[in-house]
Amino acid sequence: MKLKSSRPLGTVLAVSLLMALAGCSQAQTPSTADAAPAKGGADRPAVLKGIEKHGFEVIGEFDAPGGLRGFAGVVGGQQPAAAYVTADGKHVVVGSLFDANGEDVGAAPLEKLVAKPMSERSWKKLDESAWVRDGRADAPRVVYTFSDANCPYCHRFWEAARPWVDAGKVQLRHVMVGVIREDSPAKAAAILTAPNPSAALLENERLFDRGGIKPAASLTAEVANKLDANQVLMIELGFQGTPGILFKDAQGMVQRRSGMPQGDDMTVVLGPR
- 8 has a pLDDT exceeding 50: no
> Can you tell me the distance from the alpha carbon of 142 to that of 140, in angstroms, rounded to the nearest whole number?
7
Highest mean pLDDT: which range of 46-55, 59-68, 196-205, 256-265: 196-205
Residues above pLDDT 90, as percent of the chain? 73
Residue spans of the domains in the chain: they are 10-116, 129-270
Residue 255: what pLDDT?
A: 94
- Dihedral (C-alpha) 167, 170, 173, 174: value to the nearest 10 degrees? -60
SS3 152: helix
Class of domain 10-116: alpha beta
For 68-124, write each residue's pLDDT tens digit: 999 999 887 678 899 999 999 999 999 999 999 999 999 999 988 888 888 898 999
Average pLDDT value for the chain: 86
Report phi then psi at 44, rounded to 5: -80, 130
Contact 231, 5 (CB under 8 A): no
For the cut 90, the answer to whether the pLDDT of residue 42 exceeds it is: no
Q: For residue 102, what pLDDT is reported? A: 96
Lowest mean pLDDT among 29-38, 78-87, 153-162, 212-221: 29-38
pLDDT tens sequence across 151-173: 999 999 999 999 999 999 999 99
CA distance 151 to 258: 13
Please state the rounded mean pLDDT for residues 125-139.
97
User: With b meaning 16 or more CB within 10 Å and e meaning fewer, what string describes 182-199?
Assistant: ebbbbbbbbbbebeebee
What's the angle, vertex CA 192, arms to CA 211 and CA 201, rounded to 5? 45
pLDDT at 140 over 90: yes
In the chain, DSSP finds a helix count (H) and a strand count (E) of: 10, 10
Class of domain 129-270: alpha beta
Assign 179 a pLDDT band (cuts: 50, 70, 90).
Answer: very high
Q: What local confidence, expressed as pLDDT, does residue 9 receive?
A: 32
How far, in Å, CA of 38 to CA of 71, rounded?
7
